[in-house]
Amino acid sequence: MPAGTVLVCHPSVDLYGSDLQLLESVSGLTAAGWRVVVTLPGTGPLADRLAAAGAELRVVDVPVLRKSMLNVGGLLRLVLDCARSLPVMLRTLRQVRPDAVYVNTVTVPFWLVVARLTGRRTLVHVHEAEDDVRGLVAFLLNAPLLFASTIVVNSRAARDTLLRAVRVLAKRTQVVHNGLPGPAEEPAVPSATTDGPHRIVLVGRLSPRKGSDVALEAVSRLRAEGRDVRLELYGSVFPGYEWFEEQLRARSAEPDLTGAVHFGGYTSPTWPALAGADVVLVPSRAEPFGNTAVEAQLAARPVVVSAVQGLREIVTDGETGLLVPPDDPEALARAVASLLDDPQRARDLAAAGHRSARENFSLDRYRSAITEAVARTARR
């Protein structure tokens, strides 16, 4: 007999941060004896990985909350669109008969409402921290979480953002930092050399939030100093943001960056992209957690990250990496230059970051915490 049945509701079929964390959540639950049924909006790479982890899959296309909807009118339109999906959601709940419903991200909030109103115990896993959304819109964005029995957030920053919007959620909210697997082979720390060309790597969606444009400007400054550096961007755009990739490509074709920027596209796993990098950048303008920073540490690479939100919970400045102000290419360039000019410091930071990531963001810790949260929700 299974430990119980959990219905997991997820808005994507990609393999980015919250998608990969869902995969680890499901792997932990199935390993603990749970029957896991996952709803997805369609087929894609995540579906294959979830099936391999032992999940049953169902296609349930529910409207997804996008950042462009974060206004009163947009949220009201979302409610109307979700109402049209109500019959298939009710049918899924009736057929699966879950002991708990696990809603991954706040972008499919209607699942929380429908599940709770039909008597199911609910857990929501929050991967967002929209600090730039305040007032009534922030409350409306997070109000569906009032229907959750348990709230898991991936960082203290995400918790603080949530509680500023809806203070009464404090007692049911717990922080579980993401857990990530390391590379199959023990990584080597950076070589102690100041010779170029130097590989500067950024892994993540090509989006304004991730600061890809800031990285371009930082590399431009480094090259203006005569440094032999190359920037490698690995990631793709979210539909609707194709304009941003075009903007990046146009900037990289200008004389100061010609031949210095490589667009590697989406990559998973990330280890081949990270291996051998002299410095890994995470110049995000907002980052509720920051899986790519942890992956860089697990790959034993020195990291330079923005001093924002969850990244400050991963990197201790001067000990496990370097923190710089967000949206500041000059500061980013200076930090990179300091590591290129002092290879031993870069090696020390990489080694310390590697130890920290293995201790604080292990997969076993994460899976155990999520499984216990689901079990506790079901017992309620």
CATH number, position 16: 3.40.50.2000
Residue 322 shares a structural domain with residue 206: yes
Residue 202 shares a structural domain with residue 144: no
**What domain range includes position 58?**
5-179+362-379
Residue 138 shares a structural domain with residue 217: no
Give the torsion sign (CA, 318, 350, 213, 257): positive
Burial of 333 (0-12, 13-18, 19+ CB in 10 A): buried
Residue 214 shares a structural domain with residue 228: yes
Q: Is residue 88 situated within a structural domain?
A: yes
Residue 171 shares a structural domain with residue 280: no
Q: Is residue 188 situated within a structural domain?
A: no
Residue 348 shares a structural domain with residue 318: yes
Q: Is residue 105 situated within a structural domain?
A: yes
Residue 233 shares a structural domain with residue 353: yes
How confident is the model at residue 79, as a pLDDT? 73
Q: Is residue 184 situated within a structural domain?
A: no
Residue 75 shares a structural domain with residue 96: yes
What pLDDT tens digit does each residue of the chain (380 aa) get? 578 999 999 998 888 888 999 999 999 999 999 999 999 999 989 999 999 999 999 999 887 766 665 566 666 777 777 778 888 899 999 999 999 999 998 888 889 999 999 999 999 999 987 777 677 777 877 888 999 999 999 999 999 999 999 999 999 999 999 999 989 888 877 765 666 799 999 999 999 999 999 999 999 999 999 999 999 999 999 888 899 999 999 999 999 999 999 999 988 889 999 998 999 999 999 999 999 999 999 999 999 999 999 999 999 999 999 999 999 999 999 999 999 999 999 999 999 999 999 999 999 999 999 999 999 999 87
Is the distance from CB of 62 to CB of 89 less than 8 angstroms? yes
Burial of 303 (0-12, 13-18, 19+ CB in 10 A): buried
Residue 326 shares a structural domain with residue 343: yes
Residue 103 shares a structural domain with residue 221: no
Place of tokens 């749970």: 34
Beta bridge mates, 263: 233
Place of tokens 């959601």: 89
Who contacts 122 (Cβ-Cβ below 8 Å, separation ≥6)? Answer: 100, 101, 102, 103, 111, 112, 115, 116, 147, 148, 149, 150, 377
**Overall domain count for the chain:** 2
Q: Is residue 22 situated within a structural domain?
A: yes
Residue 352 shares a structural domain with residue 366: no
Q: Is residue 159 situated within a structural domain?
A: yes
Q: Is residue 190 situated within a structural domain?
A: no
Residue 349 shares a structural domain with residue 373: no
Q: Is residue 140 situated within a structural domain?
A: yes
